[in-house]
Amino acid sequence: MVDKQMNPKLWLKEHGDYLFRYALSRLHDTELASDMVQETLLAAWRGHERFKGDSTLRTWLVGIMKHKIIDHIRKEIRHRDISDRLEHDPTSTYFSENGSWQDSPSAWRDNPEALWDNQEFRQVLQECLSHLPEKQRNVFEMRELTGDDSETICNAYDITPTHLHVLMHRARLALQTCLHKHWFGGHTKS
Amino acid sequence: MKHACKRVSQLTSDSFERELSLTEKMQLKLHFAMCSLCRNYHQRLATMAGIFEQMREHDLNQDIQLPIEDKQRIQSVLEKEK
C-alpha cells in the first residue's frame, strides 16, 4: 500500500497543483512557486524512506514545502533587508498627543459575507492591502489570507511574537483607515 | 487613563492574535464600557476578521494550476533522480 504511493511522478500528478497554489499564495511569484514544487518533490523523493505513513502524503509534502518557503523568505530578508523599523511608530498619526482617536471610528454596518460577495469591495480591499508597507503586508497576508500560525511567520521573518503583534496592529490600523476612506465612509451603496 | 485609546487599540488587535491575560481582558472590558470609539474600532476589526475568514474559505486560487511546461520539466528532473 505504502509502496504504491512511493512514486514521485504520481505525487506530481496528484499534489503538484495543490503544492503550487500553496507556494504561490505565500510567495506571489509563479516561477518561484514552480521551483518550490520541484525542490519539494525532489527532497521528498530523496528522503522518502522517512515518510512513515502516519500522516497523509499531502500533509507530509506540505510539511517539506513549508520549510523550504521559510528558508527562502529568511534568505531573501537577509539579502534585501526589508526591515520595518520599530523605532518609528506609524500609529502615532492615528492618535492625538494624549492618546485619544484622531478620527473617531464609527461602526461599520455591513456583514462580512455580504462584503465578500461584492466584487467591487474585494477590489478596494486588494488595493488597500497593496498600500501597506512591504513587511507589514507580507506578514499580515501570511497570517490572515493564508492562515499560517504565528510560529511559522516568526520563524520565516525572524521576529519575536511581540514584534509580530505590533506589525499586525499597524497593518490593521492602516487597513481599516483605508477601507473606511474608500468604502464604508465614502461609498454610496446602491 | 489619558493614553487609553492608543494602548487599547494594540490590545484590541492582540485579542485577535493571542489569548489575553485576565488583567488585559478586564482592561478591555472596562474601557469598552465607557468608550464607544474603541468599541467601534473593535467592531471594525471583527468585520475585517470575518472578511478574511471568507477569503480563506473561498480560495480564489483554487483554479490555478501548475503550468504544463513546468510539470514536464519537474517530471524529467524527477526521472533523472530515480
- A102 in any annotated domain: yes
- A85 in any annotated domain: no
> Is the Cβ of B26 closer than 8 Å to some Cβ of chain A?
no
- How far apart are alpha carbons A189 and B33 in whole angstroms? 31
- Both A58 and A114 in a single domain? no
- Both A69 and A135 in a single domain? no
Cα three-residue angle A105-A111-A113, rounded to 5 degrees: 140
- Both A114 and A52 in a single domain? no
- How far apart are alpha carbons A133 and A90 in whole angstroms? 11
Last residue of a domain, one of A34, A58, A80: A80
Is B81's CB within 8 Å of A99's CB? no
Determine what percent of chain A is predicted with pLDDT higher than 90.
66
- A189 in any annotated domain: no
pLDDT at A3 over 80: no
- Both A134 and A175 in a single domain? yes
Q: pLDDT tens, B10-69?
A: 999 999 999 999 999 999 999 999 999 999 999 999 999 999 999 888 766 678 899 999
> Is the Cβ of B41 closer than 8 Å to some Cβ of chain A?
yes
Q: Can you tell me the ipTM of this complex?
A: 0.85
Is A144's CB within 8 Å of B52's CB? yes
If 0-12 CB within 10 Å is exposed, 13-18 middle and 19+ buried, where does residue B68 land? exposed
Cα torsion angle, A106, B38, A88, A154, sign: negative
> Is the Cβ of B9 closer than 8 Å to some Cβ of chain A?
yes
Q: pLDDT tens, A65-102?
A: 999 999 998 888 777 655 555 556 788 889 998 899 99
Q: Which of A21, A107, A161 sits opposite B64 (nearest CB)?
A: A21
- A100 in any annotated domain: yes
| Cα separation values, A151 from A2, A142, A156, A175, B64, Å | 31, 12, 9, 23, 28
Q: Which residue of B lies nearest to A162 if distances are taken between CA atoms?
A: B14
Contacts of A71-80 with C-beta under 8 Å, sequence gap 24+, read: A72/A27, A72/A32, A72/A36, A73/A138, A73/A156, A73/A157, A74/A155, A74/A156, A74/A157, A74/A158, A77/A157, A77/A158
- A27 in any annotated domain: yes
- Both A106 and A130 in a single domain? yes
Last residue of a domain, one of A45, A80, A115: A80
Is B4's CB within 8 Å of A100's CB? yes
Last residue of a domain, one of A62, A80, A98: A80
User: Which residues on chain A are in Cβ contact (under 8 Å) with B44?
Assistant: 105, 107-108, 176, 180
- A190 in any annotated domain: no
- A107 in any annotated domain: yes
If 0-12 CB within 10 Å is exposed, 13-18 middle and 19+ buried, where does residue A189 land? exposed
* Domain regions of chain B by residue span: 4-81
- Both A105 and A65 in a single domain? no
What pLDDT score was predicted for residue A81? 59
- Both A99 and A73 in a single domain? no
Domain ranges, residue A117: 90-184
Domain total of chain A:
2
User: Which residues on chain B are in Cβ contact (under 8 Å) with A164?
Assistant: 17
Task: Indicate which CATH number applies to the domain containing A15.
Answer: 1.10.1740.10
Task: Indicate which CATH number applies to the domain containing A113.
Answer: 1.10.10.10
Q: pLDDT tens, A31-72?
A: 999 999 999 999 999 998 888 887 899 999 999 999 999 999
Is A17's CB within 8 Å of B50's CB? no
If 0-12 CB within 10 Å is exposed, 13-18 middle and 19+ buried, where does residue B73 land? middle
Is B74's CB within 8 Å of A17's CB? no
Is B66's CB within 8 Å of A45's CB? no
- Both A76 and A94 in a single domain? no
- A125 in any annotated domain: yes
- Both A104 and A41 in a single domain? no
Is B66's CB within 8 Å of A16's CB? yes
